[in-house]
Structures are given as structure tokens and as C-alpha cells.
Amino acid sequence: MKKALITGITGQDGYFLSKLLLSKGYEVHGIIRRNSSMHQGTLEKLNPEERQLIKIHYGDITDNNFIVNVVEKTRPDEVYHLAAQSFVGYSFENPTFTYHNNIMGTLNVLNAVKEKAKDAKLYFAATSELFGRTTIKPQNEETPFMPNSPYAISKLAGYWTTKSYREAYNLFFCNGILFNHESEVRGPEFVTRKISMGVAKMSIGDTGPLILGNLNSRKDWGYAKDFVDGMYSMLQQEKADDFVLATGEQHTVREFVEEAFKIVGKNIEWEGEGINEIGRDPNTHDVIVKVDKTFFRPIEAENFLGDYSKAKKILNWEPKTKFRDLVKIMVENDISLLKKST
Ligand code: NAP
């Protein structure tokens, strides 16, 4: 039985990856940070049979001794290093924490695998945010990086460490340069989930409005369930390499909002511009969307569009879920969660 170790197992991708690896018969080990409520994040959404199969190790990736011990004890065949402070907005507020967590945490994980499980294959969760302010479109594995947030800079350190360890020590270390991927278990602070939750609430009587940042920000949004297939596939190759995973489609936050309201039978009429823009329900004239500058990033990165042709050619990977279906999955799931809780 193959063994996989997942850092960041309580996050969005950890959820889908755990399901995938369990379905393939892996022994799955996951690292969880202890908290006072003993909450286990998205792991709590797995079905009980899946959950009891996961072997949990309580600790933090910034604790080097802990990571070394876990890697030594578990001797994994595959390591999926997903743990990170992953919210760009928060990284501007707390850059020191973001650097420490994402850079030192990653260094600990990579060093532990290098020293204690050098034959293991490792996936590092890099990101399209590495491209930041680029004007080149679409972005692929050869596009120069222009990170423009503390989050992206911390991930750039992880990206280069992964790549240089691969080359210097002949390790099977891969970077997944993943464009945004969302889902019904996306954290509530991320704009897509904020929209799906807000629209779901308004569909059952909440008056709103939905308060958002830059409506014109363009993203390449895919479905997390599709993207973990690509991560897995990277570690099944003969040769370690870096891959972009994306959908190759760009949509604005505005389009996400419009699509989400359509699912609950509402159209939007936009009025005004910039931070004074509002969205009204044309039937009731109620304001259902407002813009607030506190939700803008200090430097916007708004031109993400991925070219996943290398992943298609080598991994035979393609995104399966279309933008509209993704929005539908998220909104319908939030409506059903609300109905269950009332
Ligand atoms: P997420 O939902 O924010 O999950 C992050 C996970 O990392 C959580 O399980 C979190 O644990 C854990 N973590 C953070 N710091 C830790 C520490 N010091 N020790 C142990 N665990 C720690 O992120 P995601 O969306 O699943 O993304 C997975 C990875 O891919 C992240 O590295 C992210 O930056 C990267 N990525 C994501 C996207 C995307 O669109 N989703 C795109 C590109 C790259 P807690 O539950 O305790 O907070």
C-alpha cells in the first residue's frame, strides 16, 4: 500500500486530495495544527468511513523537529506540501507571519524529505500569484515571475527551493503552478465563497447587500476537484517537473456575481463606477451588491490567464468543470447548507 503525507490536509485542496488518494487505496497521513476547539477544518466534511482512515499527526510545519519526526516515522512514498497561509489579502496585513509560515515551513518540509525520505516524490503548491503584475498573457511555465504580494513572494521562495533541491540533490520534487481553484469547501474569506454564501443567504430572505472589492479583477477560476487530479498525476510521472494547471478562461468577479445571482433567479443592474458602483435587483430596486475599498488589494493583480498545454501534453490533464458549473456547485451547496442549519 502506497503512503502519502499531506500538509494542509484541513484546507480546501486537502479535502479533495484526501478523497482522491483514499479512493486509490493509499494510506493517507495528514498534518493538523492543534487548536483549542479541536476543529479539523474540511476533514470534518469527509464521510465517517473516509475520516477514520486518515492518520493524523498534530503539529505545525514551522516546527522543524516535528516535521522531521513525522517524515521519519511515516516514510511516505509521496508528500503533498499544501500547508500555507494562503490568503493574499491577509499577507499584506501580516507579511512577517506569512514569510515565516510559508518560507520556513516549506524549508522544513523540503529538508525533512531530503534527509529522511529522499526517495519520496514531493509536490509543492506554488501559485499563479507568482506572475503578479505580468502583462504577458496567457502565462505558462516559461513566463517570468513578477510577484506583487507577500504571499506571492513567500511562494516564490518555495518554488525556487523546490526546483533547486530537485536539481542539486536529484530529488523528485515538483512545483504545481496552480491558477485559482474554488469549490464548495473554499474558505469563506475568498471572494468566490463570499459571493456564493452571500447569494445563498439572499435567496432565503437575507437583505444583503453583498459587499465586495474590485469587480473588474480577472481570474482564471477552476474547480479544486479537477486540480487535485493534476497534482496526483505530477507525482506519477517518470521525471519530476513543474506544471501550470489552469482553465485557460478568464472571468471577472463581476461575471461570477452575475452568474451566482442568475442561479437564484435574480438579474443585476449596475449603476455608478469604481468604489461608488452598486448592483440593484431590477424588480425590487434593492441594492444587492456594493463595493468597498477595504476589500481592494494594496496592489491589484488582475490579469491571470493560464496556459496548461504542458500539463495537457505530458500529464494528459484537462480541467473538466466549466465556469458556470463551478458557480452552480458553490451556490447550490451553500443554499443546501443554509437549509439544513435552519
Ligand atoms: P487553504 O484552504 O487555505 O488551506 C491551507 C492549509 O494549510 C490548512 O490546512 C491550514 O491549516 C494549513 N496550514 C497553514 N499553515 C500551517 C502550519 N504552519 N502548519 C500546519 N498547517 C498549516 O488552502 P488551499 O486552497 O487548500 O490551497 C492549498 C495550497 O495551494 C496552499 O499552499 C495555497 O497557497 C496553494 N494554492 C491554492 C490555490 C487556490 O486557488 N486554492 C491556488 C494556487 C496555490 P489550518 O486549517 O489550521 O489553518
Clarify whether residues 71 and 162 are in a common domain. yes
Clarify whether residues 158 and 124 are in a common domain. yes
Nearest Cα residue to atom 23 of ligand 1:
11
Q: What's the CATH code of the domain at 272?
A: 3.90.25.10
Range of the domain at 243: 3-183+223-249+302-321
Nearest Cα residue to atom 33 of ligand 1:
86
Clarify whether residues 198 and 131 are in a common domain. no
Mean of per-residue pLDDT scores for the chain: 96
Clarify whether residues 142 and 245 are in a common domain. yes
Determine the atom of ligand 1 nearest the C-alpha atom of 186: 2
Backbone angles phi, psi at 302, to 5 degrees: -135, 30
* Range 127-140 average pLDDT: 96
Determine the atom of ligand 1 nearest the C-alpha atom of 12: 26
How remote is the CA of residue 18 from the centroid of ligand 1, in Å? 14
How remote is the CA of residue 189 from the centroid of ligand 1, in Å? 13
Determine the atom of ligand 1 nearest the C-alpha atom of 62: 18
Task: Mark whether 151 is an active-site residue.
Answer: yes
Q: What's the CATH code of the domain at 43?
A: 3.40.50.720
pLDDT at 97 over 80: yes
Clarify whether residues 311 and 162 are in a common domain. yes
Task: Mark whether 127 is an active-site residue.
Answer: yes
More confident residue, 268 or 206: 268
Clarify whether residues 12 and 105 are in a common domain. yes
Clarify whether residues 336 and 237 are in a common domain. no
Nearest Cα residue to atom 40 of ligand 1:
180
What does the pLDDT read at residue 296?
85
pLDDT at 254 over 90: yes
* Range 293-298 average pLDDT: 84
How remote is the CA of residue 294 from the centroid of ligand 1, in Å? 23
Q: What DSSP assignment string belongs to 222-254?
A: EEHHHHHHHHHHHTTSSS---EEE--S--EEHH
How remote is the CA of residue 86 from the centroid of ligand 1, in Å? 5
Clarify whether residues 287 and 233 are in a common domain. no
Which one is catalytic: 80, 151, 159, 308? 151
Integer Cα distance of 159 and 151 in angstroms: 12
Torsion of CA 244, 152, 173, 230, to 10 degrees: -30
Clarify whether residues 149 and 281 are in a common domain. no
Clarify whether residues 150 and 284 are in a common domain. no
Task: Mark whether 93 is an active-site residue.
Answer: no
For the record, the C-alpha cell of 38 comes out as: 479541536
Q: How far apart are the first and last CA of the chain?
A: 43
Clarify whether residues 25 and 169 are in a common domain. yes
Determine the atom of ligand 1 nearest the C-alpha atom of 39: 46
What does the pLDDT read at residue 36?
87
The answer to whether 304 and 315 are in contact (CB under 8 A) is no
For the record, the C-alpha cell of 5 comes out as: 503525507
Clarify whether residues 50 and 167 are in a common domain. yes
How remote is the CA of residue 40 from the centroid of ligand 1, in Å? 13
How many distinct structural domains can be found in the chain? Answer: 2
Residues with CB under 6 A from ligand 1: 7-8, 10-14, 31, 33, 41, 60-62, 82-86, 101, 105, 125, 127, 178, 180-181, 187
- Give the pLDDT band (50/70/90) at residue 206: confident
Q: For a pocket test of ligand 1, which of 13, 85, 162 has the largest count of ligand atoms closer than 8 A to its C-beta?
A: 13
Which one is catalytic: 98, 127, 162, 247? 127
pLDDT at 272 over 90: yes
Q: What percent of the chain has pLDDT over 70?
A: 100
How remote is the CA of residue 81 from the centroid of ligand 1, in Å? 9
Q: Order of strands across the sheet with 278-280?
A: 210-212, 287-291, 278-280, 269-271
For the stretch 21-70, pLDDT in tens is 999 999 999 999 999 888 999 999 999 999 999 999 999 999 999 999 99
Integer Cα distance of 329 and 199 in angstroms: 13
